[in-house]
Amino acid sequence: MSALRRDRPGRGRWCDAYTRMGGMAALSRYADDVIDALSEREQAAAQRIFTRLVTPGTVDYAQPVKIDQFAPEDLELARTLGDHRLVVFGPDTIEVAHEALLRGWERLQLWLSRDSEVLALVTTVQNYKNEWERNNRDPMMLLPGPLLENAFRLVEEHSRHAIPLADYIVESMEVTRAEQRRQDRLQAQHDAMRLAALSDLARLSATEAPVVALELGIRSLLSMPLLQGDAAVRLALATTKPEHRLSLPDAVRQVIYSQDGGSLAAVGFDGTVQIWDAASGEPRLSLPHPLAVSSIAFSPAGALVATAGGDRTARLWDAGTATELARLVHGDVVRELAFNPAGTLLATASADATAQVWDVATAELVARLAHDDWVGVVAFSRDGQHLATASRASGPGSGRSPRRATGRWPGSGTATPSGRSSSARTARRWRPRARTPRPGSGGSATDARCAGSSTRRSCGASASARTAIAWCPAAGTTPPGSGPSPPAPW
């Protein structure tokens, strides 16, 4: 067009001059030259711009698009394309300068063939958004379920196209999720009330065993803690006689089953550790401790029992003979312990401000994970590759300098905490950090240091020390829990 204006052909000769200059091919070459001169990032932006300016479902019908529907960097490039007379700006829109480009520009046709489904989705979502804004952002105008799923994929896979639609898609997702949570709560409430009613019927039935009413009441509380479920459990307990009454000389601190359900163990504040046959209630073993026992754990195979006590030791026992196999020493009271899923490692948590990992077969120390105050809880992930710990104080927020932890994680180099410690009373997620031992070290202890991770949020501050921690089976994340404080998900 610039060349035609320079040559100023006479009346009726514009078409001849256009043909002589190469016609459609010349216009396409000119557009290609402009695009080829752009950087790779700018070319991607040019593709988004031109494909938006074509009516979805067509390849040769232009459509003006409002300026505010383009991302800032795309709009900046559009102005450059406007300087080259490939697009034109209206008062509030942008459109293709020459419709001939829609029919004869091969690059544009290739772009359209690649992005046709994406562009159609962008236009559909944009139309929904326009209606939403025209109706004062009425929640009834948000994206419906199936379309919302496609819009979410658009955000994940084609984020540049989704930038102008992001606020609408996010609002649709939040409202949809809030509604789903409401529906889930209603369903849980309905299930809880139904199970509580069934518990009452089972308790009054002459044919049902009393334990059935108790089980239904417990299931009601697990579904949602309601007064109906609480009453059902209390009434069922009042009419249910225990199969066995297992006693210890002093108050019972902890009761656990072995993984196969065959054994039941209880520990007392007086140092008593008693193991019974779960089916018959007959005593099997008694494990002597000089002071109070704080924790007990069966190995996954059930062949070993580990106990932790106030005598600053954790002990390994043969579950068949009550023989003490090893004594693992800490500098203060051992508060908690846990086997890894394979049963090859034992983690211990102590008031000496450390969590320690031991080789079960050799009773050797594998890793020493230092904290800034006493450690109350340890838990292995289901795959055994991570260890979660919870302590009373940790990190910059506690006003203490971080300590160094020593010890080599089996077969994987050093252990590194992967949850940031932002305040006192925190939980940490430790993971192996690949590192080749120095020559001649013989696999001896290396170091593990506290380091933040951008992939997990730190556990928030709590009003008290954390007393429980657990791994999410599906997601592999650790939601720490504490006494009176709310859980802080990672």
Mean pLDDT of 40-63: 77
What pLDDT, in 10s, does the model give residues 262-286? 888 888 887 788 888 888 888 888 8
What pLDDT is attached to residue 487? 35
* Coil, strand or helix at 371: coil
> Judging by DSSP bridges, how do beta strands 468-469 and 447-448 pair with one another?
unpaired
Q: Does some domain include residue 396? A: yes
* Of 273, 317, 319, nearest in space to 295 by CA: 273
Based on the domain organization, do 228 and 351 belong to the same domain? Answer: no
Phi, psi dihedral angles at 265 (to 5 degrees): -120, 145
Q: Does some domain include residue 155? A: no
Based on the domain organization, do 307 and 450 belong to the same domain? Answer: yes
Q: pLDDT confidence of 360, banded at 50, 70, 90?
A: very high
Q: Is the C-alpha dihedral spanning 471, 476, 479, 480 positive or negative?
A: positive
CB 127 within 8 A of CB 91: no
Q: pLDDT confidence of 185, banded at 50, 70, 90?
A: very high
Q: How many CB atoms lie under 10 A from the CB of residue 438?
A: 9
Check whether 437 has a pLDDT greater than 70. no
What pLDDT is attached to residue 423? 35
- What kind and span of H or E run contains 89? strand 87-89
Strand stretches in 158-312, DSSP E: 252-257, 263-268, 272-277, 283-288, 293-298, 304-309
CA-to-CA distance for 393 and 404, rounded, in angstroms? 15
Check whether 160 has a pLDDT greater than 70. no
Based on the domain organization, do 115 and 211 belong to the same domain? Answer: no
Q: Does some domain include residue 163? A: no
* Of 228, 224, 139, nearest in space to 186 by CA: 224
**How confident is the prediction for the chain on average, in pLDDT?**
75
* Coil, strand or helix at 315: strand
Based on the domain organization, do 193 and 282 belong to the same domain? Answer: no
CA-to-CA distance for 54 and 70, rounded, in angstroms? 14
Provide the number of structural domains found in the chain.
3
Q: Does some domain include residue 490? A: no
Based on the domain organization, do 25 and 82 belong to the same domain? Answer: yes
Domain that holds residue 205: 170-239
What pLDDT is attached to residue 101? 78
What pLDDT is attached to residue 270? 79
Select the more confidently predicted residue: 455 or 79: 79
Q: Cα dist. 411→347, 348, 356 in Å?
A: 16, 20, 17
195, 216, 239 - which closes a domain: 239
CATH code, domain carrying 385 = 2.130.10.10
239, 268, 295 - which closes a domain: 239
210, 239, 268 - which closes a domain: 239
Q: Does some domain include residue 418? A: yes
Based on the domain organization, do 259 and 206 belong to the same domain? Answer: no
Mean pLDDT of 346-358: 93
CB 293 within 8 A of CB 307: yes
Based on the domain organization, do 454 and 336 belong to the same domain? Answer: yes
Residue 411 gets the label, from left (phi > 0), alpha (psi -120 to 50) or beta, of left
Based on the domain organization, do 386 and 280 belong to the same domain? Answer: yes
Select the more confidently predicted residue: 345 or 490: 345
What pLDDT, in 10s, does the model give residues 232-268? 999 988 887 776 677 777 777 788 889 888 888 888 8
